[in-house]
Structure 1
Amino acid sequence: MMTGFRLNLSPLKEPLGFVKLVEWLTAIFAFGCCGGFSGKNVISILCGDGSNETLNAMYQYPFRLSQFPLIDKNTTLCNHSVTTTHMMGDSASSAEFFVGVGIVCFLYSMAALLVYLGYMHVYKDSDFGPIFDFVITAILVFLWLVCSSAWAKGLQNVKSATDTEGISGTLALCKGSNITCEVTEFANMRTLNISVVFGYLNMLVWAFNAWFVYKETRWHSRKFSSQPGPGRHQVPAPI
C-alpha cells in the first residue's frame, strides 16, 4: 500500500470534505468574535449639587472583570472620597473554554483536510483513520454544546455586571440617596452575541459531519453489508 502524499481535490466536492471546510471557517468566526473583543461603558454620575461626573469602564477578553478598575486610584467624586474600585465578576473560565474549543476545532479541521486531500487513499484503506475521525468528531460535538452553553451564561453575566444595576451595586458612591449612577454608553457586544450563535452553529455542523464520517467506518459498512438485498432469499441448509 502506497502511503505517499497524493493531492486530490475531489473530496472537497463531497460532503465529507466540504463540511470539514465549513467547520474550519465557522471555528474561526466563533473564537475570533470572542477572543478579539474589547469594549468600554461610560457611566454618568449625577451628584446631589447638580454637577456631573463621568467614569469609563473598560474591559476585554477573557472578561476577568475583577481585574479592570472603575476607579484606578483614590479620588474625589461628588465631594466624596472614593477608593480604588474594580468591577465585579469573572467569566474567564467560560470564555477561555469556548475559545480553546474553537482553536482545537480549527486545527483539527486543517489536519483532517490535509488527510482528505493528500492521504485519502490511506484513510479509506485503514480502519483506524475513519474510526478515529468519527470518535474525535463526536467528542467535539459534545464540547461545542458544553462550551457554547457555558459561554452564553458567561456573556449574560458580563452584561449584568456592566449594566446600570451592576455598576451601581459595585460603586458604594452610587448607593447614596442624592447620587444617581447610570450607564449612558454601552460597549457594542454584537460580536460576542455572534460568537454564541456560531458556537451552536458549530455544534450543528459537526453533528451533521459526524454522519458522513460514520459512513466511512467499518461499523456502517458491516451494517450495510449484513442487510439482505432485494430479491435475495435464504436457501435452507441441506438436511
Structure 2
Amino acid sequence: MMTGFRLNLSPLKEPLGFVKLVEWLTAIFAFGSCGGFSGRNILSLFCGDGMNETLNANFHYPFRLSQVPLVDGNTTICNHSVTTTHMMGDSASAAEFFVGIGIVCFLYSMVALLVYLGYMHVYKDSDFGPIFDFVITAILVFMWLVCSSAWAKGLQNVKDATDTEGIGASLALCKGGNITCEVTNFANMRTLNISVVFGYLNMFIWAGNAWFVYKETHWHSQKFSSQPGPGRQQVPAPI
C-alpha cells in the first residue's frame, strides 16, 4: 500500500469533504466574532444640582469584568469622593472555553481536509482512520453544545453586568441620595450574539458531518452487508 501524498480534490465534491470545509469556515466565524470583541458603555450620572458627569465602562474579551476599573484612582464625582471601583462579574471561563473549542475545531478541520485531499487512499484502506475521525467528530458535537450553552449564559451575564442596574450595583454613588445613574450609550453586542448563533450552528453541522464520517467506518459497511437484499430469501441448507 502506497502512503505518499497524492493530491485529489474530488473529496470536496462529496459531502465528507465539503462539509468539513464548511466546518472550517463556521469555526472561524464562531471564535472570531467572540474573541475580537471590544465595547464601551457610557454611564451618565445626574447629580441633582444641575451637574451631569459620565463614566466609561470599557469591556472586552475575555470579559473579566471584575478586573475592569470603572473609576480608576481616587476622584471626585458629583462632589463625592470615590475610590477605585471595578465592575462586577466574570465570564472569562465561558468565553475562553467557547473560543478554545472553536480553535480546536478550526485546526482539526484543516488536518482532516489535508488527509481527505492528500491521503484519502490511506484513510479508506484502514479501519483506524474513519473510526478515529468519527469518534473525534462525535466528541466535538457534544463540546459545541456545551460551550455554546455556557457562552450563551456567560453573554447574558455580561449584558446584565454592563446595563444600568449592573453598573449601578458596583458604584456606591448610584445606590442612594439624589444622584441618578443611567447607561445612556450601549456597546453594540451584535457580534457576540452572532457568535452564539454560530456556536449552535457548528453543533448541527458537526452532527450532520458525523453521519457521513460514520458511513466510512467498517461499522456501517458491516451493517449494510449483513442486511438481506430485497426479494432475497434464505435457502435452507441441504440435509
TM range, smaller chain: over 0.9
For residues 50 and 173 of structure 1, what CA distance do their matches in structure 2 show? 16
Moved more, 226-235 or 96-105: 226-235
How big is the shift at 1:214? Answer: 0.2
Q: What does 1:74-223 align with in structure 2 at a 5 Å threshold?
A: 74-223=74-223
How big is the shift at 1:48? Answer: 1.8
For residues 152 and 84 of structure 1, what CA distance do their matches in structure 2 show? 30
How big is the shift at 1:237? Answer: 1.3
How big is the shift at 1:20? Answer: 0.1
- Residues 67-115 of structure 1 show CA distances to partners (whole Å, capped at 9, x for unaligned) of 1100001101111110100000000000000000000000000000000
Structure 2 match to 1:2: 2
Structure 2 match to 1:54: 54
Q: Which amino acid aligns with 1:209?
A: N
For residues 123 and 8 of structure 2, what CA distance do their matches in structure 1 show? 13
Runs of 4 or more above 2 Å deviation: none
Structure 1 match to 2:32: 32
For residues 7 and 238 of structure 2, what CA distance do their matches in structure 1 show? 53
How big is the shift at 1:230? Answer: 1.7
SS at match of 1:234: coil
Structure 2 match to 1:66: 66
For residues 204 and 108 of structure 2, what CA distance do their matches in structure 1 show? 17
Q: In percent, how many aligned pairs have the same letter?
A: 87
Unmatched runs of 5 consecutive residues or more in structure 2? none
Q: What does 1:216-231 align with in structure 2 at a 5 Å threshold?
A: 216-231=216-231
How big is the shift at 1:172? Answer: 0.3
For residues 48 and 199 of structure 1, what CA distance do their matches in structure 2 show? 46
For residues 31 and 231 of structure 1, what CA distance do their matches in structure 2 show? 52
Unmatched runs of 5 consecutive residues or more in structure 1? none
Q: Which amino acid aligns with 2:96?
A: E
- Residues 20-41 of structure 1 show CA distances to partners (whole Å, capped at 9, x for unaligned) of 0000000000000000000100
Q: Which amino acid aligns with 2:236?
A: P
Q: Which amino acid aligns with 1:46?
A: F
Structure 2 match to 1:17: 17
Q: Could you tell me the TM-score, scaled by structure 2's length?
A: 0.99
